[in-house]
Structure 1
Amino acid sequence: MIQIKNLSKLYQTKHQKIQAVDNVSLNIDHGEIFGVIGYSGAGKSTFVRLINRLEEPTEGSVVMHDQDITKMPANKLRKKRQKIGMIFQHFNLLWSRTVYDNIAFPLEIAGLSKAKRKEKVLELIHLVGLSGKEEAYPSQLSGGQKQRVGIARALANDPEVLLCDEATSALDPETTDDILDLLVSINKRLGLTIILITHEMHVIQKICHRVAVMESGKVVETGDVLDVFVKPQSKTTKRFVQQLNPLEHEKDKLSDFINDRDDSEVIKLHFIGNRARRALISEVAKKFDVEINILQGSIAPTQEGAYGTLFIEINGEKTILQNAIAYMKETGVEAEVVEHA
């Protein structure tokens, strides 16, 4: 487990003080993919650099496997950093070195023999899907291939933790998905703890188990990804969730599709996990004397199961409507009657 307690970073300039990270406390479990999301200037990149002391904290502690990183002398910190891999938005590769030599570089610094370096490098090249590219230079690679080299290099010393600072921000959507799939595969195969910094909710939705939302240096919300999706609490979190389904929080726009009869209700349904596969609308239409008009909806996979939202207009006699809504709730689906114009 990684225990982060009261972590802060204050920058003092000539004219002002800037609180980049403000009293952040988090526990990150071994083997999970933990996301930290925030808009530009939220402090998330500074936060991740405090974890391995690329930035020195003003106060607070980072305890990793019962070792307090923030109190380590320089010689012990250098050794500990070998067990904290890091990948970056702009790859940070050595442009004069081949793929093979980039991945071998941290092993050279660690003092591994040439034979052991070769064995490890070839294993990592295969792991990240770059077989055949050993002698290529970074200038000959696509963005996704460069990031795969960065990931392989970060894994060279068998780290306990992998820090990803906006690792997919410079990539196109298809390549982003490929890199995220690779990170999930590495997480499952190696049991590696991954802390992922991003400003994209799609990234959180696709691979993270839990998420912390940052704003102005503070964590304003944290929880399981599905819980945060279904019931976002802070204004910032609601804005991020809205990225995945822009209409979900604009209920007034549904009025263009509503019949708005006296005997109708508009219902917002949340489907979570296996419930997203259930033919609930068909069941309700067969079981109750109602008419159902599907207004709009979406479904997205997460690491903890599918998450879906569906807006429907349901017409029928008042008592029957109440029974139909009660039935939907009994199935484990969240059903909320929506006020509409």
Structure 2
Amino acid sequence: MISIQGLSKLYKTKHQNVQAVDDVSLNIEQGEIFGVIGYSGAGKSTFIRLINRLEEPTGGHINIQGTDITNLPINQLRKRRQKMGMIFQHFNLLWSRTVFDNIAFPLEIAGISKSERQEKVQELIDLVGLKGREKSYPSELSGGQKQRVGIARALANDPDVLLCDEATSALDPETTDDILDLLVSINEKLNLTIIMITHEMHVIQKVCHRVAVMDQGKVVEHGDVLDVFVKPQSKTAKRFVQQLNPLEHKQDSLKRFITEDESTEVIKLHFIGNDAKRALISEVVKTFDVEVNILQGSISPTQEGAYGTLYVELNGNESVIAETLKFIEASGVEVEVIRDVK
């Protein structure tokens, strides 16, 4: 649905050149929520502004539903932009207009009749949960309500792509979750493609189907959210995953729980999808003559299913432990033997 090939943006200044986006190629499917994550200066906000040509690319192509927008003349680009809604970090509302009039504004620009505008705006107000606030001004709204206005306004022209540039970073955690739930609901109801730009791994975890990790203008890793969470390949992705799973970098804390005995083995288990709900430890205890000591663990949900990490100590005969490990691996759970924690 969206094909991005060799996309680049070079800023030239008097003293230096800055490669904000460097040869990025991605395919984003119709109806998916695609996340782009990176730390400050990674190029992610420039990347999303290139998609609707709020920034002009230095090189590369962006093809949306068969149209190469990088080659569109400005009059055709204006019409194409009407089908690309955008949500901003700081809302960008018109402070002198009411909620109703803010949402109606893009419809006015598009030349939609007053009666059609009224019907469409009311439909959007109901969709984003702002019924009763039609006559309120932005100064009278909470941050979450302002962003709901921004979402409704972005949907006014029935876009096929919704671009979200740090849409929740100005909100508190509870309000963030409410806005993310709303975006998931909109994605499902409208089959709307959503591109989420964020520096928060929680956002990726909660709503995205796939993710691209950016660093210094490049995409250093991309794939299904579960794959990136469970097996991050790049240093940047590993740092983000550690934000949500502090166990990944606190193995030293295991030492105090481990039995000083040569007949023990410490293992790390990765559970994915339905395996995260399986009573595997109970099965092991019933099947094998081993003692199992659970050291620490965590489980996290994503759009594509849950994933979890569990550290356990196995105590028993060496050959029995070997059979136990084979049994666990055969069950579909990934096993990593930890030897450097003692």
1:292 maps to 292
Q: Within 5 Å, give how 1:1-341 maps onto structure 2.
A: 1-339=1-339, 340-341=341-342
State how far apart, in whole Å, the 1-side matches of 2:322 and 2:13 are.
62
State how far apart, in whole Å, the 1-side matches of 2:253 and 2:62 are.
46
Q: Deviations over 1:18-67 (max 9, x none)?
A: 00000000000010000000000000000000000000000101000010
State how far apart, in whole Å, the 2-side matches of 1:91 and 1:80 are.
22
TM-score with structure 1 setting the length: 0.99
Give the secondary-structure state (helix, strand or coil) at the position aligned to 2:185.
helix
Give the secondary-structure state (helix, strand or coil) at the position aligned to 1:247.
helix
Query: 2:106 is aligned with what amino acid?
Result: P
Give the secondary-structure state (helix, strand or coil) at the position aligned to 1:256.
helix
Q: Deviations over 1:129-186 (max 9, x none)?
A: 1111111111111100100000000000000100000000000111101100001000
Structure 1: which 5+ runs fail to align? none
Q: Deviations over 1:86-145 (max 9, x none)?
A: 001000000111110000000011111111101100000000011111111111111001
Give the secondary-structure state (helix, strand or coil) at the position aligned to 1:131.
coil
Deviation at 1:292, TM superposition (A): 1.0
Farther-moved stretch of structure 1 (152-161 vs 241-250): 241-250
Q: Percent of aligned positions with the same letter in both sequences? A: 75
State how far apart, in whole Å, the 2-side matches of 1:161 and 1:256 are.
51
Q: Deviations over 1:244-279 (max 9, x none)?
A: 011223323311221232111111111111111111
State how far apart, in whole Å, the 2-side matches of 1:210 and 1:187 are.
14
Query: 2:26 is aligned with what amino acid?
Result: L
Give the secondary-structure state (helix, strand or coil) at the position aligned to 2:246.
coil
Deviation at 1:204, TM superposition (A): 0.4
Query: 1:261 is aligned with what amino acid?
Result: D
Give the secondary-structure state (helix, strand or coil) at the position aligned to 1:159.
coil
Give the secondary-structure state (helix, strand or coil) at the position aligned to 2:57.
coil
Give the number of equivalent residue pairs.
341
Query: 1:329 is aligned with what amino acid?
Result: E
Query: 2:34 is aligned with what amino acid?
Result: F
Deviation at 1:304, TM superposition (A): 0.6
State how far apart, in whole Å, the 2-side matches of 1:164 and 1:291 are.
50
State how far apart, in whole Å, the 1-side matches of 2:127 and 2:135 are.
17
Q: Deviations over 1:294-314 (max 9, x none)?
A: 111111111111111111111
Q: Deviations over 1:175-228 (max 9, x none)?
A: 101100001000000000000000011100111000000000000000000000
Give the secondary-structure state (helix, strand or coil) at the position aligned to 1:55.
coil
Query: 1:156 is aligned with what amino acid?
Result: A
TM-score with structure 2 setting the length: 0.99
State how far apart, in whole Å, the 2-side matches of 1:266 and 1:175 are.
40
State how far apart, in whole Å, the 1-side matches of 2:256 and 2:137 are.
55
Query: 1:29 is aligned with what amino acid?
Result: E
State how far apart, in whole Å, the 1-side matches of 2:259 and 2:98 are.
64
Structure 2: which 5+ runs fail to align? none
State how far apart, in whole Å, the 2-side matches of 1:43 and 1:144 are.
26
